[in-house]
Chains A and B, each alone.
Chain A
Amino acid sequence: MRVQNMFSVAGPQAERIAELWWITFAICLVVFAAVLVATGLALWKGRKGTGSGHGAHLAVASAVGVSTVLLLFLIVASVATDRALAQIDASDALKIEVVGNRWWWDIRYQDPDPSRRFTTANEIAIPVGRAVELTLRANDVIHSFWVPALHGKKDLIPGRTATLTLRADKPGTYRGQCAEFCGVQHAKMALFVYALPAQEYEAWAEQQRRPAPPPADGPQQLGHDLFVKGTCAMCHAIQGTPANGRRAPDLTHFASRKTIGAGTVPNDPQQLAVWISDPHAVKPGVNMPAHAFLKREELAALVAYLGSLK
């Protein structure tokens, strides 16, 4: 399985980097082999004491010369590739703001029309073949955005704004994760990029723009009330309800996501119940407080309500 491999490329930039890697690798391999052969020969000669110093200066000088030429070639190749990475047509780019938090990703789809903006977390859907301009910011510490199938990493630094433009040319699901050590749950700060055909993407985005569906039955209604009046709404938001906390992932279409806790566990009712009642059992140190005090039916109602937020 190659879930996060830098050679399983899906975008032009990752592809250029992979090409550069193979060129560099080939040259390095040859140099490595040459040094080993030379060392081996030297040991063989030296052991017998038959190595003559004749021409040794010339040999050393030419080896240094060849090394220099190879290095200069690699510098040129590297700089050229670096230039190429920046040359991606971003004229009609989809603009998304990505904000790093300990330990989740806040994903805000931008649009000139405020009513078309929406927010999700940890999972980014993008249209295939269209450039995406990510604006990267951090709320607390330094994080690093990295989806190897698409592009190299870029740091999210508090107090600074960075942009990363990329494009997926193949539909698929691409995993990434935070690459800059950000504290106790750095290991569990994954994200997913879903590259969807343009139409599918539009349908998905349209769905995300809608407010959350109202509760459909009694338990869901109870869950809704608990959410809105209890501890949840202090940090979480659900569009279309009074819950508008901005400190934790927006849960408007929570049920459309595949994982809980930034890729920590799959999003199913059982895992969700565990997560709500005792998140520290799954991801110790997370800022979500434990809700062991919830009664069993209350927990079930919350799970049912959140499960309805397609």
Chain B
Amino acid sequence: MNPLLERTWRDTGFFSAINHKTIALRYIVTSFAFFVAAGILAALMRLQLAVPENDFIGPDLYNQLFTVHGTAMMFLFAVPVMEAMGVYLVPLMVGARSIAFPRMNAFSYWVFLFGGVMLFGVLALNIGPDTGWFSYPPLAGPEHSPGKRVDFYAQLITFTELAALLVAIEIIATAFKMRAPGMTLARMPLFVWAMVVTSFMILFAMPAVMFASTALIADRLVGTHFYNPAEGGDAVLWQHLFWFFGHPEVYLIFIPALGFMSSIIPTFARRPIFGYPAMVLALIATAFLGFGLWVHHMFAAHLPELGKSFFTAASMLIAIPTAIQIFCWIATLWTGRIVFRTPLLFVLAFFFILVAGGLTGIMVASVPLDLQLHDTYFVVAHLHYVLIGGAVFPLFGAWYYWFPKFTGRMMSERLGQWQFWIAFIGFEVAFFPMHTLGMDGMTRRIHTYPEAMGWGAANFISTVGALMIAASGVLFIVNVVRSYRRGAPAGDNPWGADTLEWATSSPPPSYNFDRIPVLGSEGVVVTGLAEKSREVLITTVVDAMPDHRLAFPNPTIWPFLSAVAVTVMFIGSIFTPWAVVWGSIPIVVGVTLWFWPRKDETREHLALEKRP
């Protein structure tokens, strides 16, 4: 502990906090809360579907439930939680004292929080959006979705995408410019690579959905005609834009999880990852291919034949980079000395669940098969295999793995193993029968089905599985709370891992590292950075050579206030287009005050100033 650094880097005030670990933990806890809430909605839907012709939940509420479930899981849980893990870990893994643009990071969190609260708030008032997380017009358009329900959906997208885009910029800048000296790109941990690749995908994918949802809300509120065929618009335009974002979306949930895998497997196999260059190239290839297959969500719409074949090929070939990584992990395990711990268990579920989901993905990538399977429960099964097996199981593994770093305490192994097995079996019980339901003709997004369809038994089993998953979630929460209070002390590096976050104390101090190491030169550390002021070391992109020192900003409440102003503008604009005008004024004021340099800070910086 370095008291001087601590005084310099600690946060002041709850709403002014900008430390990346504080913000990241808030992000993780909040998105986990949204995960639980959206999971409860799923359990309610499963109860409704458990028996045929059930009238537990009516169609109007059911539609809101599945819409909010999907929207929250994608926009309020999966993407933010992955970014939050990056916000916590990337600066630590690269040996930096902070994330780049820490105030923007805080702003992003508040915007995300307010957006999520809005979505669940309107659901609690029974006025939640009800047109699906994909909200196809014309169903989501002004004529067929009267009222404000879909406008909340469209603005939720604006909230969450804004938050996600800002974080993406921070992560790229941190990973490229703030690595410890000597951490060349070729030495960058695979998790950091995964976050960089994800962040680049976010930059290019999310504008599509922001554009689409802005056009949708404009259609609804000010009478534009983007999706109105009678006036030259086209409903399919939405589908192109949405899936141009929507398919990369899957990969930007999945790629960070690959990063977890590549962190956890080598640690518990007690050897470095097998095939590092191939792993990096595979991540980059996945990102590129991920933009080339959006049309496979639209095979049942009418499209030219040749185009469809191209997208079939692209959709199948994206399996290859994932296969490369899977084979490399198998090789890592094969040649290692494995220690079985809970994190590894969760990660191993990937080999069972994600691989199955990937293979069903190959099935739905084929045009003829997709014509039968599209929009059936087969696809529901497929996407949950991919997202839960490919992202949520590794994420739980990551939480078990990094919990000691976050809190300084170990989680209970016994509870962890119980949770794993209940989750794993519950998952298979819940989602495996959905494959057969889909082939049996059960379509998605139906609130009930006649008894004569013969879907009752499989649905009942699936509901039982869903409740098991819920039980495993409860067990996880119990484990977290108990371990947080009285888990065994973890020490700096309980797993014997070799990335930099384990080189500092658990939990890390506000300044992350007392002495920043120089990689590739055993025992050398950086000196000469100011300790009374928030100075960080900026290095070069490829070789991580020291480039310049940079003074970072102090905590401030303006990001929070600006986020409030943004929220007022976004929600106000649902009710009147003029909110875009008058709502901008407080935002401009807030942002100006946020950036306006303070005299004492400037004086501090001048004292350290050296012109280039």
Contacts and interface: CB of A to CB of B under 8 A. Distances in A.
Interface magnitude class on chain B: 35 or more
Interface string B300-342: 1110010011001100110110011011101101111110100
12 contacts: A2-B440, A39-B351, A45-B335, A49-B336, A60-B328, A82-B367, A153-B300, A159-B229, A159-B234, A184-B59, A184-B130, A284-B60
Nearest to B367: A82
Interface string A49-78: 101110011011001100110010011011
Nearest to B440: A5
Given A5-B441, A46-B334, A178-B443, A24 B302 contact: no
A187 B447 contact: yes
Contact of A157 (B236, B334, B336, B372): B236
A47 interface: yes
B324 A82 contact: no
Nearest to A149: B441
B441 A79 contact: no
Interface stretch (A29-37, A105-113, A194-202, A211-219): A29-37
Given A74-B362, A142-B138, A159-B229, A56 B368 contact: no
B452 A1 contact: yes
A35 B445 CA distance: 33
Nearest to B66: A181
Contacts of B365: 78
A152 B441 contact: no
Contact of A43 (B312, B331, B338, B442): B338
A34 B217 CA distance: 49
B369 A24 contact: yes
Contacts of B320: 64, 67-68, 71
Interface stretch (A14-22, A228-236, A239-247, A294-302): A14-22
A46 B335 contact: yes
Nearest to B60: A184
The residue among B229, B368, B374, B444 with the most chain A CB atoms within 10 A of its own CB is B368
Contacts of B327: 38, 59-60, 63-64
A172 interface: no
B581 interface: no
Given A1-B454, A2-B440, A181-B444, A35 B355 contact: yes
A7 B439 contact: yes
Contacts of B356: 32
A41 interface: yes
B275 A60 contact: yes
With most chain A CB atoms within 10 A of its CB, the pick from B58, B132, B326 is B326
B368 A82 contact: yes
A181 B324 CA distance: 37
A28 B323 CA distance: 13
Contacts of A187: 59, 445-449
Contacts of A39: 330, 333, 348, 351
Interface residues of A, number: 82
Given A142-B139, A157-B236, 16 more contacts: A3-B441, A3-B454, A6-B441, A7-B439, A20-B366, A24-B369, A28-B360, A43-B338, A67-B320, A82-B366, A141-B144, A153-B371, A159-B230, A160-B229, A184-B130, A284-B59
Contacts of B450: 263
B428 interface: no
Interface string B243-256: 00000000000000
Centre residue among B131, B139, B360 by max chain A CB count within 10 A: B139
B541 interface: no
A182 B139 contact: yes
Which 8 pairs across A and B sit closest by C-beta, in order of nearness? A152-B371, A159-B229, A4-B441, A187-B446, A1-B454, A78-B366, A49-B337, A42-B334
Interface string B431-474: 00000000111111111111011100000000000000000000
B31 to A, nearest CB: 26
Contact of A60 (B59, B331, B363, B373): B331
B139 A141 contact: yes
A38 B330 contact: yes
Contact of B369 (A20, A46, A186): A20
B323 A67 contact: yes
B15 interface: no
Interface string A176-207: 01111111111100000000000000000000
B439 A5 contact: yes
A123 interface: no
B335 A20 contact: no
Nearest to A187: B446
A14 B340 CA distance: 47
Nearest to B340: A47
A162 interface: yes
A208 interface: no
B371 A17 contact: yes
Contact of A21 (B60, B230, B369): B369
A141 B302 CA distance: 15
Contacts of B331: 42, 53, 56, 59-60
Contacts of A81: 366, 368
Nearest to A140: B144
B362 A32 contact: no
B269 interface: yes
A159 B448 CA distance: 30
Contacts of A47: 337-338, 340
A35 B58 CA distance: 43
A70 to B, nearest CB: 9
B219 interface: no
A78 B300 CA distance: 15
B376 interface: yes
A24 B360 CA distance: 9
A285 interface: yes
Contacts of A209: none
Nearest to A40: B351
A158 interface: yes
A220 interface: no
Contacts of A102: 144
B370 interface: yes
A257 interface: no
B336 A51 contact: yes
B375 A42 contact: no
B386 to A, nearest CB: 14
A158 B235 CA distance: 8
A32 B374 contact: no
A25 B356 CA distance: 11
Most A-side CB within 10 Å, residue of B278, B441, B448: B441
B56 interface: no
A24 B362 contact: yes
A182 B445 CA distance: 9
B276 interface: no
B375 A179 contact: yes
A155 interface: yes
Contact of B312 (A49, A79, A140): A79
Contacts of A6: 372-373, 439-441
B578 interface: no
A129 to B, nearest CB: 22
Contact of B348 (A43, A57, A182): A43
A151 interface: yes
A249 interface: no
Given A79-B309, A141-B139, A142-B138, A36 B369 contact: no
Contacts of A16: 368
A78 B60 contact: no
A191 to B, nearest CB: 12
A291 interface: no
A35 B359 CA distance: 11
A183 B305 CA distance: 30
B484 interface: no
B352 interface: yes
Contacts of B174: none
B135 to A, nearest CB: 10
Nearest to A38: B330
Nearest to B143: A140
B59 A185 contact: yes
